[in-house]
Chains A and B, each alone.
Chain A
């Protein structure tokens, strides 16, 4: 099946710094990618929809100036957590949409564990 990678898999940063997380579709092109956040023992929370060549669509309650999303190519979307704070510590997961005919399939990356100290 299709493979989605994320880099880094784990990152620690200090409060006030910015962190960039990359999401790549390795063997298919993805016009749409999603960014999720998962808190411990909680469900996936959709943060934003990333469309190649256009601005991301953010879910209600997600600060677009804090979580910058750039979908620069059909295989790469990046999420930058700006001025990170300890409450931003979480597990961030991306997914990419693969289209076959009229059917869409969603493939997930392995996730990135962010710890802000």
Chain B
């Protein structure tokens, strides 16, 4: 049972434009959400996170939005750069315990 879903396996965006990656979850106990970026043959690296007490968190070109009622979060990258081309995973964690649940990833390609 996939509790965290990324329904778009891939996304292509022109350099300089906005990239929007989406993530949906089903478990209302999740209260902490993270985005990871992964290059081929490397481990994922932490990008940005958001707690359920917020609906937006911004870090430079990266902004994560959380819509708790819709159980939906999104990652906005603006402006997109070719170096942003990677697979992006969203993850969610419940307010109890240390388990993290990952989405299946979205492969972002930023076209120069």
Beta-carbon nearest neighbor of A5 in chain B = B43
A44-B102, A111-B41, A113-B41 are known contacts. Are A1 and B32 too (CB-CB below 8 A)? no
Residues of B within 8 A of A105 (CB): 46
The 8 Å CB contact of A110, one of B34, B42, B105, is B42
Do the beta carbons of A108 and B93 come within 8 Å of each other?
Answer: no
A1 with B98: CB separation less than 8 A: no
The stretch of A13-21, A64-72, A73-81, A91-99 in contact with B is: A91-99
What is the bound-complex CA distance between A88 and B34, given in angstroms?
29
Specify the chain B residue showing the minimal Cβ separation from A38: B38
Known: A44-B89, A99-B98. A93 touches B103 (CB 8 A): no
Give min CB distance, B81 to chain A, whole Å.
22
Expressed in whole angstroms, the minimum distance between the Cβ of A101 and any Cβ of chain B is 12
Q: Is A32 an interface residue (CB 8 A)?
A: yes
Q: Which residues of A contact B34 (CB under 8 A)?
A: 106
Output the least CB separation between B42 and chain A (Å): 6
Query: Do B91 and A108 have beta carbons less than 8 Å apart?
Result: no
CA of A6 to CA of B102 in the docked complex: distance in angstroms? Answer: 21
A-contact 0/1 string along B40-63, CB 8 Å cutoff: 011111100000000000000000
A46 to chain B, nearest CB (A): 8
Q: Is B85 interfacial (CB 8 A cutoff)?
A: no
Quick one: CB contact mask for A39-83 with B, threshold 8 Å, 1 for yes? 001011010010000000000000000000000000000000000
- Bound-complex Cα distance A111 to B107 (A): 19
> What string of 1s and 0s marks CB contacts (under 8 Å) between B70-112 and chain A?
0000000000000000000101010001111011110100000
Q: Are B45 and A108 in contact (CB under 8 A)?
A: yes
Chain A contacts of B93 at CB under 8 A? 104
Flag if B36 contacts A108 (CB, 8 Å): yes
Chain A residues with a Cβ under 8 A of chain B: 1, 4, 6, 32, 34, 41, 43-44, 46, 49, 91, 93, 95, 97, 99, 103-111, 113
Given A95-B43, A106-B46, 5 more A-B residue pairs with CB atoms under 8 Å apart are: A32-B98, A41-B107, A43-B89, A44-B105, A111-B41
